[in-house]
Structure 1
Amino acid sequence: MIKVKLSTGTTIAYEEAGSGHPIVLLHGYCGSHRYWDEAMPLLAAQGRVIAPDLRGHGASSASEGVYTMEQLADDLAALLDELKLSRVNLIGHSLGGYIALAFADKYPERLLALGLAHSTSFPDGEAAQANRLKAADTIRTKGIAAFVDDLIPKLFADSSRTDKPELLRKAKEIGYETSADGAVGCALGMRERPDRGYVLEKLDLPILLLAGQLDGVIPPEKRFPVSKINVTAITLEGVAHMGMMEDPQAFAGAIGTFLEQKRVKDSV
């Protein structure tokens, strides 16, 4: 685990493995770099993999207030500056996907490729916005553990809950490490994020949209918001919202194939 104080004022912890083409993995809400424990070694065969803990998550520092997606994208830009990385392949899971889109909107010149895993460019609807406020209230009144205990089972497929209870235990343990300020700040930040379909429309670099067949968080109609020649859309069978944990081989394989095809095209 490496920690670095960024120009944005926060301290970000991250893990890395492999060498070569930079691949940055952004975890989801109430997660950490540990979400990638199984997938990261597989992706390290493709390049230098960097997995940070987002502000307020894992071993990174927290602050009070709303964590906008733009602010979290600025954290990423500052981290890349510290690592002296001008351009990266960026893969974001769920909340990480929302941040990746904000980064693509603000810093498109710093991307080699963009991937959204179990995420969407659509904003929260009214019901989802109300649920963000409920989440923030639950965290403030009952604590992060109670919130995480309720959240995590909803992220996994029924078969995973039945046959792989150790995955849920691990995801909960990871979630407990999220600071209350971080969880509240991100809930409120996700609530106010805009529709970023236009970002996917205007980008001409390779884009991966990776969805879970059984995802109960991202419904089918929001998984593939654009269809263009530079967009690769893949559905992982038998997994829900946590493909990197439920089927890390298939998850990492889809990303690895996407990146390899991109490199082949670049070399032609």
Structure 2
Amino acid sequence: MKTVQIKGSSVAYLDEGQGEALFLMHGFCGSSAYWSKVIPKLTEQYRVIAIDLPGHGDSEVQDNVNQIDLYADFIYQFLDSLKIEKVTMLGHSLGGYITLAFADKYSERLNGFSLIHSTGFPDSEEAKKGRDSSAQKIDDEGIEAFIDGLIPKLFAPNNVKSQQNSVEEAIKIGYRTSLIGAKYALEAMRDRTDRRAVINNTELPVVLVAGEEDQLIPSEKTFTADGVNIKQVLLKNVGHMSMYEAPEELVKVFVQR
């Protein structure tokens, strides 16, 4: 892992391979390690940068980065620190929300973008209450109890047993999320705005990836736009974690043979 200082806080990231830059952002309570099964193949064709978002993995919390637009600003500063002008941005779940905010504010820094098990929809009122309940659970029971309940729901039901090692790996990664980092992310996801128009209106290449058995974000919430610049990919027998559940299929979406 490499590190860089952003506003006095340490940010951890991977930077491997050569060529056009792919920038990978993990989901809530994940880290750059979420991409470990796909990075080796992606680096055959691309320079791959995978970040630990603030308060996740080995990255320290960024003070008051608790809104999606602020995460996007942070990513802008991070790319500047690496002197990277343009990237193709791949965002998983929470990372997808940040990707849309970045595309909305800083489209000139993108060659294209992808939502992986993510959506342009905002949270429903019920979902907002769920975010607050999750924050309360973290306060009451700690991050480990929260992660134990969260991670199995991210996998397709049949994969929870058949891919138990991956489930356990994701749980261990989740344990490393700081309480403040998790609560900032929950607040940001709760308060995010409707950004479906970003997908509809962009002229950039867009890839929308959904899991057929995703229990958190069904495909119809991901496939909200269609056009000559938009590619929709539905992965079968996959939940919310294709980078674990079907890494080879996910790589094929982005690697040109």
Question: Contact 1:10–1:62 at 8 Å: present in 2 too?
Answer: yes
Show structure 2 runs of 5+ residues with no match: none
Determine the C-alpha separation between the residues in 2 that align with 1:111 and 1:64.
26
Report the alpha carbon displacement of residue 77 of structure 1 after superposing the two structures with TM.
Answer: 0.8
- Aligned positions, number: 257
CA pair 226-38 structure 1, distance change in 2 beyond 3 A: same
Q: What is residue 263 of structure 1 aligned with on the other side?
A: none
Question: Contact 2:211–2:218 at 8 Å: present in 1 too?
Answer: no
Q: What is residue 186 of structure 1 aligned with on the other side?
A: 185
Determine the C-alpha separation between the residues in 1 that align with 2:210 and 2:200.
19
Report the alpha carbon displacement of residue 82 of structure 1 after superposing the two structures with TM.
Answer: 1.1
Q: What is residue 138 of structure 2 aligned with on the other side?
A: 139
Q: What is residue 75 of structure 2 aligned with on the other side?
A: 76
Could you give the per-residue CA deviations for residues 92-140 of structure 1, whole angstroms, max 9, x where no partner exists? 0000000000100110000001100000000000111000000110111
Question: Contact 1:63–1:181 at 8 Å: present in 2 too?
Answer: no
Show structure 1 runs of 5+ residues with no match: 261-268
Determine the C-alpha separation between the residues in 2 that align with 1:67 and 1:256.
33
User: What are the within-5 Å matches in structure 2 for residues 1-268 of structure 1?
Assistant: 1-6=1-6, 8-63=7-62, 65=64, 67-257=66-256
Determine the C-alpha separation between the residues in 1 that align with 2:15 and 2:244.
18
Amino acid at match of 2:4: V
Could you give the per-residue CA deviations for residues 143-189 of structure 1, whole angstroms, max 9, x where no partner exists? 10010000000000122111111111000000000000000110011
Determine the C-alpha separation between the residues in 1 that align with 2:132 and 2:8.
26
Determine the C-alpha separation between the residues in 2 that align with 1:145 and 1:207.
35
Amino acid at match of 1:94: S
Structure 2 residue matching 1:14: 3-state secondary structure: strand
- Identity percentage of aligned residues: 43
Q: TM-score, normalised by structure 2?
A: 0.97
Report the alpha carbon displacement of residue 63 of structure 1 after superposing the two structures with TM.
Answer: 4.5
Question: Contact 2:65–2:71 at 8 Å: present in 1 too?
Answer: no
Determine the C-alpha separation between the residues in 2 that align with 1:160 and 1:25.
24
Structure 1 residue matching 2:255: 3-state secondary structure: helix
Structure 1 moving runs of 4+ over 2 Å: 8-11, 63-66
Structure 2 residue matching 1:89: 3-state secondary structure: strand
Report the alpha carbon displacement of residue 9 of structure 1 after superposing the two structures with TM.
Answer: 4.3
Question: Contact 1:208–1:232 at 8 Å: present in 2 too?
Answer: yes
Report the alpha carbon displacement of residue 194 of structure 1 after superposing the two structures with TM.
Answer: 0.2
Question: Contact 2:219–2:234 at 8 Å: present in 1 too?
Answer: no
Q: TM-score, normalised by structure 1?
A: 0.93
Structure 1 residue matching 2:55: 3-state secondary structure: coil
Question: Contact 1:66–1:188 at 8 Å: present in 2 too?
Answer: no
Determine the C-alpha separation between the residues in 1 that align with 2:157 and 2:106.
38
Aligned alpha-carbon RMSD (Å): 1.2
Question: Contact 1:80–1:86 at 8 Å: present in 2 too?
Answer: yes
